[in-house]
Structure 1
Amino acid sequence: MTNQREPWFEIRRNGYGLTPTTWQGWSITLVIMGVLLASVQTVLYLVRDPLKAVIVILVVTATELAVFVPFTYRHAKSPEEAEKQEAILLAEKREKVKRDLEEWKKRNGF
């Protein structure tokens, strides 16, 4: 049985990484932002030595991202699926341009 759930993230067309495409993806993104901010604030509150605070923040952030990044890729479109969808959209766009051009030629007597 194949899993036909809608992906929450898709590969960015420009740059690296993923971008949220559904409310679930945006929710997860907001949650991880909140967790990152809360953990930084907690470390800054608990650790008084600036050097130790920076080290702890880097370790905590790396740990949180080590969980978040694989999670997002598990809920993302595969590169092949994204490429296939982009090819379909491009073909549809070409057909629309052809139809629009033919319509314009008819209206303008060409």
Structure 2
Amino acid sequence: MALDLIQAPHEREIHASRRLFAIDERFHSQLFARAQPRGAYPLLHKLRDYYADTTLLLGELPRLLEELTRIATQFTEPSQVREFARFIEQAIADGDNLYATAD
């Protein structure tokens, strides 16, 4: 089971999208153990509930990317964080939103 982030221009198109980033439970736990205080990472905290769907709009993605860049410095091995950041950068470049769907 994973929290899937799907890149698409509109929610009705998520099932046709092939662009996906899966956040497994371990990575999710690691992110939120480091995303403190909560107020410093408001967009990342939209993904806090591993079992709930949420939407991150295109206009929010540059700030989410900045939050992720800050949190990456707290990881000994930030490769998953960098992968996540590249996924967000691609969504920004494509002009898409991100839709988090819990399996």
Give the structure-1-normalised TM-score: 0.28
Structure with the bigger percentage of strand: 2
- Structure with larger Rg: 1
Q: Which has the higher contact order (CA 8 A, sep 6+)?
A: 2
Structure with the bigger percentage of helix: 1
